Amino acid sequence: MKYDFNTEKELDVIAIGRACLDLNAAEYNRPMEETMTFTKYVGGSPANIAIGSSKLGLKVGFIGKVSDDQHGRFIEQYMRSVGVDTSNIVVDKEGHKTGLTFTEIKSPEDCSILMYRENVADLFLQPSEVNEDYIKKSKILLVSGTALAQSPSREAVLKAVSLAKKNDVKVIFELDYRPYTWKSADETSVYYSLVAEKADVVIGTRDEYDIMEGTKEGKNETTVRHLFQHSPDLIVIKHGVQGSFAYAKSGETFKAKAYPTKVLKTFGAGDAYASAFLYALITGKDIETALKYGSASAAIVVSKHSSSEAMPTVKEIEQLIAVRS
């Protein structure tokens, strides 16, 4: 089974939301307190997905807000250098800074993230800075959950979703739950549910769906039954090493295994998964193959130091699938 898009659209994907800096520990197997050197990369889930999709050959745009300083310029310049259209990245003029994420790599199983998200530029994207003419150029609007955490970014995203629905643009909702950005679990549940019910495709881990549903150890069947009463016609639920499942509104279920790999760190997997999954769908591959592409891309990124910089090529993904299948 394949997934249909409006093929007349000029862009494949426009992502909206956070673009920030990842400072990944250059020293492995030690706690943050003892780590002295870090390597700088562009980070933030929607930015990573945009970068990953562009590296795979898709035509990609980005809507977001960056700080008016060296960090903001670094983000815009890097994204442009890998082929992302940055014409709708807005420069903040009110003194808000770029979000910073420090990562600790104690072991492949023990990685932690220290985030600085207070008054960051990406959460000050205004609804007035979301352009309908730009959104309607794209086959897909990719929305990341973190952008819903605060106003005015929340309203900017809701406006973007509304404009996408109006203009035959598929809305893909990547849950991207980051607890430190939200005030409460109830607030998260309200806004996640609001967007998930309007989306065409929802992607997340089982744990993220549990946050949205306000439950513990929820069942895929319950999630799918509820969301299929609304707009979604494809739901992807990831179960870590157990693999990932896709449920189509027409009744089919698809599964792909997780590919074993030598894990360096655990972050970046979800963004790599989403970009490769979208690439496969947009290029006409069936849903089961798209799940395999997502799993293979995630396996590649967790074996490398960065998230954005490590996003694989189509050849790397296809080689891993061929070897491990």
Which pLDDT tens digits describe the chain residue by residue (325 residues)?
889 999 999 999 999 999 999 999 898 888 999 999 999 999 999 999 999 999 999 999 999 999 999 999 999 999 999 999 999 999 999 999 999 999 888 877 778 889 999 999 999 999 999 999 999 999 999 999 999 999 999 999 999 999 999 999 999 999 999 998 899 999 999 999 999 999 999 999 999 999 999 999 999 999 999 999 999 999 999 998 899 999 999 999 999 999 988 877 777 889 999 999 999 999 999 999 999 999 999 999 888 876 788 899 999 999 999 998 7
Using alpha carbons, list the distances in angstroms from residue 298 to 144, 194, 241, 303.
Answer: 17, 28, 11, 9
Residues 200 and 170: beta-carbon distance below 8 Å: yes
**pLDDT score, position 171:** 98
Question: DSSP secondary structure string, 145-197?
Answer: GGGGSSTTHHHHHHHHHHHHHHTT-EEEEE----GGG-S-HHHHHHHHHHHHH
Structure tokens given for 256: 């792909």
Dump pLDDT digits (tens) for 163-221: 999 999 999 999 999 998 899 999 999 999 999 999 999 999 999 999 999 999 999 99
**pLDDT score, position 180:** 86
Spatial strand order in the sheet of 170-174: 85-91, 60-66, 11-16, 138-144, 170-174, 201-205, 234-238, 244-248, 253-256
- What is the Cα–Cα distance from 279 to 296, expressed in whole angstroms? 13
- What is the Cα–Cα distance from 103 to 95, expressed in whole angstroms? 25
Q: Give me the domains of the chain, ranges plus CATH numbers.
A: 11-324 (3.40.1190.20)
Burial profile 169-200: b = 16 or more Cβ within 10 angstroms, e = fewer = bbbbbbbbbbeebbeeeeebbebbbebbebbb
Residues 200 and 232: beta-carbon distance below 8 Å: yes
Average pLDDT, the chain: 95
In angstroms, how far apart are the furthest CA atoms of the chain? Answer: 53
**pLDDT score, position 279:** 98
Q: What DSSP element (H or E) covers 293?
A: helix 287-301
- What is the Cα–Cα distance from 109 to 116, expressed in whole angstroms? 23
- What is the Cα–Cα distance from 100 to 295, expressed in whole angstroms? 27
Residues 141 and 9: beta-carbon distance below 8 Å: no
- What is the Cα–Cα distance from 3 to 150, expressed in whole angstroms? 32
For residue 13, which of 325, 287, 278 has the smallest C-alpha distance?
278
**pLDDT score, position 29:** 87
For residue 64, which of 120, 2, 138, 105 has the smallest C-alpha distance?
120
Residues found in the chain: 325
Structure tokens given for 143: 């929305």
pTM of the model: 0.96
**Quick check: helix, strand or coil at residue 220?**
helix
Using alpha carbons, list the distances in angstroms from residue 19 to 120, 238, 264.
Answer: 10, 24, 23
Question: DSSP secondary structure string, 108-138?
Answer: TTEEEEEEE-TTBGGGG--GGG--HHHHTTE
**pLDDT score, position 324:** 82
